[in-house]
Chains A and B, each alone.
Chain A
């Protein structure tokens, strides 16, 4: 079970590139578009406009010629503007929107259909598995949570209670901490040397990727759009096709709405 990439080659169904070995490095960080102005007194005003995630993926000492050919094709896909999903494990690909916003101290999460079962199969929680909760840009509230023993494909019991009150978020996305479903090359990196050879003895893959500020919101909001944002490509699978008409575009919150109170309040993106 090695690190894996998923993408859609031109005119082809989902392509899985399994490295069969762990990644050498995966560095994840937030990049906020914000301004900070400081007054004479030292008082600071910070105004956020958007937040994107930068994910740098590095794999070294690649010697398998077949894998190198696959990675060459993947790099070309990325430099053409294509999107890719990355997972440190090929069977831990949870990605779903929560049904109910957790409050601080909650130890149970429930979500709608796992959107990426087609990537890594049915997902059930394993004790100690780290999930990432994320809210919309620009606030970009996030929190690591750790699965306890219990749960199912649509929910998990946590071993450690949530810290934040998420009730003001318009939506909440939960995914494996090491699974990033919607990435593309960072701006300005189109001509970067993504796959480097060392005397043709071994290769190093170094992908500077990013998740746009609103990639997840778009995923939720526009079910007709391709899962991996491939508007530049033809024949891509859409979210509708992936998760079924009964789910996409018809997401409704359970009895407890987000943003606490109000009963009929729906997330803004419906």
Chain B
């Protein structure tokens, strides 16, 4: 659910007074964030201390890099009056939420615009400045104050075979101990073991049932997840694997929601406790995730989570897992979401059909790059490969432009795609290929006021301006041209929005 229309209409007014509330919030259930505070930019908000100052307050925004689709993350700084020592109420890592309203609006209806995690509290210019990073960047570890419980998948265990295992004969496998071996409760998921046999390569073995020291209802004969199941001997290493199958965005929801108590925290609370962040569902933009899931949904459309090690940098691990498919984490309207880079020409214009015109753009702020400085290479071909042996890769080709540096092929390895079909490679190439085979144009500008505060990374907006150069290499009309948002956002304390956009010319017309 996004911002309500009445609030959006207020933000779009030519004349507006803004009020702010900043407060600590609980986003996990383990009490990782001690203390609490509620401060406001105005007096009289019941329960809030009047302490926010505009001086020292501001935003920086995260970016999305074309091609690799890697991310940087945004920050928020909030100036606080010097007579309130916030150190008594805050802690590093504490989750905070900024809400915005206007005179006459009940504070209960102030809308969340930003949520993140405290990184520092700085004394600067005779006042305090609370420095925070946006929520996605706070996912470096699970929300726990127990140092042994912060790593993702920290409960993964290992043991040895208690008895020899022959997949041609045995219908169950006996381990020295099965204690700690867990599985996802998502229907269709199974226990997953990584066995390193005395002879042969390590392989995965799936089982539906755990009984005592035995795993039963084995998925035989294999191969399983690209590995051949071979005999193993007593004493061979057996490792627990975090395993699940599903659309990557659903997998993100499982990772974010899972509490270890199936179904207690949203519809995707399926994973064992240490596999998930137990982020309350209210902090997830479920609608936005669903929108991008439906836009990137080949049939069958599953990726496979397959992890055997504890991840001390959960954000880095998750970002790398998502990146080959152009998926990324983002913050939208004060909630966490997972989005996908869409094809500029076939993807929907989001959100809410934002159309930026010369009624919005601040003169003198336009910077246009004919060739995106962050995309130095143009590729003739764009290719995506599933993980299973045999390739199943899909390639799309466009004629390159001789006048620029060019290379043959940009290749994406979809490490989590074990489907054994061309569905995902096809989907990914069709969606991302256009950004590989033409160096994008890049456009940066600011818009006056907060009418254009909605778009975030991954949105596709329309821009019509007499002051933006025409698309390169074509004589096409510049009206309502589509651009992908790769940076920028609203600065609520400065009253403008910044946009960092890329677009690609019509491939056919430029070749």
Q: Which of A40, A41, A222, A259 is packed against the most chain B CB atoms within 10 Å?
A: A40
Within 8 A of A (CB), among B6-40: 14-19
Q: How far is the CA of A47 from the CA of B448 in the complex (A)?
A: 10
Chain A contacts for B359, CB-based, 8 A: 39-41, 43
* CB of B469 closer than 8 Å to a CB of A: no
Asked if residues A218 and B18 are in contact (CB atoms below 8 Å), the reply is no
* CB of A79 closer than 8 Å to a CB of B: no
Q: How far is the CA of A49 from the CA of B57 in the complex (A)?
A: 12
Find the A residue at minimum CB distance from B54.
A49
Asked if residues B17 and A48 are in contact (CB atoms below 8 Å), the reply is yes
Within 8 A of A (CB), among B131-173: none
Task: Choose from B44, B450, B467, B493 the contact partner of A170 (Cβ within 8 Å).
Answer: B44
* CB of B187 closer than 8 Å to a CB of A: no
User: A35-B496, A39-B362, A40-B362 given as contacts; is B15 within 8 A of A136 (CB)?
Assistant: no
Q: How far is the CA of A50 from the CA of B359 in the complex (A)?
A: 26
Q: Which of B102-110, B240-248, B396-404, B405-413 contacts A (4 or more CB under 8 A)?
A: B102-110
- Shortest CB-to-CB span from A3 to chain B, Å, is 29
Q: How far is the CA of A181 from the CA of B43 in the complex (A)?
A: 18
* CB of B447 closer than 8 Å to a CB of A: yes
Task: Choose from B46, B106, B358, B446 the contact partner of A270 (Cβ within 8 Å).
Answer: B46
* CB of A33 closer than 8 Å to a CB of B: yes
Tier of interface size on chain B: 35 or more
* CB of B361 closer than 8 Å to a CB of A: yes
Asked if residues A139 and B447 are in contact (CB atoms below 8 Å), the reply is no
Asked if residues B18 and A138 are in contact (CB atoms below 8 Å), the reply is yes
Q: Which of A37, A171, A213 is packed against the most chain B CB atoms within 10 Å?
A: A37
Chain A contacts for B494, CB-based, 8 A: 35
Asked if residues A47 and B104 are in contact (CB atoms below 8 Å), the reply is no
* CB of B266 closer than 8 Å to a CB of A: no
Q: How far is the CA of A40 from the CA of B50 in the complex (A)?
A: 37
State the majority secondary structure of interface residues on A: loop
User: A35-B494, A37-B362 given as contacts; is B44 within 8 A of A136 (CB)?
Assistant: yes
User: A40-B363, A47-B450, A49-B18 given as contacts; is B43 within 8 A of A221 (CB)?
Assistant: yes
Chain A contacts for B17, CB-based, 8 A: 47-49, 138-139
Residue-wise interface mask of A (200-222) relative to B, using a CB-CB cutoff of 8 A (1 in contact, 0 not): 00000000000001100110111
Chain A contacts for B104, CB-based, 8 A: 168, 170, 259
Q: How far is the CA of A44 from the CA of B362 in the complex (A)?
A: 10
Tier of interface size on chain A: 35 or more
Asked if residues B14 and A43 are in contact (CB atoms below 8 Å), the reply is yes
* CB of A250 closer than 8 Å to a CB of B: no
* CB of B449 closer than 8 Å to a CB of A: yes
* CB of A66 closer than 8 Å to a CB of B: no
Chain B contacts for A170, CB-based, 8 A: 44, 103-104
Within 8 A of A (CB), among B461-501: 465-467, 493-496
* CB of B360 closer than 8 Å to a CB of A: yes
Chain A contacts for B446, CB-based, 8 A: 37
- Shortest CB-to-CB span from B488 to chain A, Å, is 15
- Shortest CB-to-CB span from B414 to chain A, Å, is 43
Chain B contacts for A269, CB-based, 8 A: 43-46
Task: Choose from B16, B106, B451 the contact partner of A46 (Cβ within 8 Å).
Answer: B16
Q: How far is the CA of A221 from the CA of B54 in the complex (A)?
A: 22
* CB of A38 closer than 8 Å to a CB of B: yes
Chain B contacts for A169, CB-based, 8 A: 103
Residue-wise interface mask of A (143-177) relative to B, using a CB-CB cutoff of 8 A (1 in contact, 0 not): 00000000000000000000000001111000000
Chain A contacts for B493, CB-based, 8 A: 49
- Shortest CB-to-CB span from B161 to chain A, Å, is 68
Within 8 A of A (CB), among B45-61: 45-46, 50, 54
Chain B contacts for A45, CB-based, 8 A: 14-16, 448-451, 495
Find the B residue at minimum CB distance from A222.
B43
Chain B contacts for A171, CB-based, 8 A: 44
Asked if residues B54 and A50 are in contact (CB atoms below 8 Å), the reply is yes
Residue-wise interface mask of A (1-45) relative to B, using a CB-CB cutoff of 8 A (1 in contact, 0 not): 000000000000000000000000000000001010111110111
Chain B contacts for A137, CB-based, 8 A: 42
* CB of A199 closer than 8 Å to a CB of B: no
Asked if residues B18 and A48 are in contact (CB atoms below 8 Å), the reply is yes
Task: Choose from B451, B465, B495 the contact partner of A35 (Cβ within 8 Å).
Answer: B495
Asked if residues B362 and A38 are in contact (CB atoms below 8 Å), the reply is yes
Asked if residues B362 and A218 are in contact (CB atoms below 8 Å), the reply is no
- Give the 10 A-B residue pairs with the shortest CB-CB distance, closest first: A45-B449, A269-B44, A37-B448, A47-B495, A35-B495, A40-B358, A48-B17, A45-B448, A138-B17, A217-B43
The 14 listed contacts between A and B (C-beta, < 8 Å) are A37-B362, A38-B362, A39-B359, A40-B363, A46-B15, A46-B16, A48-B16, A138-B19, A171-B44, A213-B42, A218-B43, A221-B43, A222-B43, A269-B43
A residues with a Cβ closer than 8 A to B are: 33, 35, 37-41, 43-50, 136-139, 168-171, 213-214, 217-218, 220-222, 259, 267-270
B residues with a Cβ closer than 8 A to A are: 14-19, 41-46, 50, 54, 103-104, 106-107, 357-363, 446-451, 465-467, 493-496
Other A-B pairs, 18, CB within 8 Å; known A47-B16, A48-B15, A268-B45: A33-B54, A35-B496, A37-B449, A39-B358, A39-B359, A39-B360, A39-B361, A40-B465, A47-B495, A48-B16, A48-B17, A171-B44, A214-B44, A217-B42, A222-B43, A267-B44, A268-B44, A269-B45
